[in-house]
Amino acid sequence: MPANYLQPRYLTIDDVKPYLEGKVTFAAGINQGLPDDLFGELIAFGESALEHDFSPYFKIPLQTTNGGSWLELPEATIAIIKKCLINRACLQTLRQAFGSNTNVRGDTYETNYETEYAALKGTLFQQKPNGVFLFPPAAGLALANNGINYNNVLPGGRNVPLGGTCTTNALSYANTRLNNPGRSFWYYYVNK
């Protein structure tokens, strides 16, 4: 077996293992159960799936607004992100290793982890019809600047600073686009 397994970026094996005790057999050799190096790679796969889900909203790798480690975030933000990470890691591991070599299925456990992950993710990403976050997404976590949901104020979520390029009045650009239909992007494109 290859010795160059992927390693988790955010969690450790000890963070996830207690949630899977009794559901997955851990052992030193692959023939007796799930070895730690392979388990670490499954955790890394789960983390990658979470990064994919979070990437339209938050900078990847997850970090503070000033570029620091995600562990420098406020405790409430760390808690919700860590719970999301654990859910993804457990889900990935259960799909790969639950009841291996037996006829036991882990569908109920998988459904529970998927449901909880979707609820947590919904809390982080829930938006009003105009695209503004319903709740502050996660205190201290750096938002993605990829143009998809960068400012959540301008129509279309365009990657334009809130004040635009105008230096006289920081809100004039947004104000004219939001309050004057003749100046909106929609009006220009539809009426040409």
Nearest to 47 by CA among 65, 67, 68, 61: 61
In a domain, 118, yes or no: yes
Token pair 């996660």 is at which residue?
138
- Give the per-residue pLDDT at 13: 93
Q: Percentage of the chain with pLDDT > 70?
A: 65
CB neighbour list of residue 125: distance below 8 Å, 6 or more residues apart: 57, 133, 137
Task: Give the predicted TM-score (pTM) of the model.
Answer: 0.69
Verify that 77 and 165 share a domain, yes or no: no
- Give the per-residue pLDDT at 128: 72
- Give the per-residue pLDDT at 105: 61
Cis peptide leading into residue 181 (ω within 30°): no
In a domain, 103, yes or no: yes
Verify that 77 and 166 share a domain, yes or no: no
Q: What is the rounded CA–CA span in Å between residue 80 and residue 186? A: 37
In a domain, 150, yes or no: no
Domain extent, residue 43, equals: 13-125
- Give the per-residue pLDDT at 127: 72
Instruction: Give the residues of the chain that fall short of pLDDT 70.
Output: 1-3, 98-107, 131, 133, 135-137, 146-192
Query: Residue 55 class from Cβ within 10 Å (0-12 exposed, 13-18 middle, 19+ buried)?
Result: middle
Helix (H) or strand (E) segment spanning residue 27: none
Segment 47-98, tens digit of pLDDT? 999 999 988 888 899 999 899 999 999 998 899 999 999 999 999 988 877 6
Domain count for the chain: 2
Verify that 165 and 99 share a domain, yes or no: no
CB neighbour list of residue 106: distance below 8 Å, 6 or more residues apart: 23, 94, 95, 98, 99
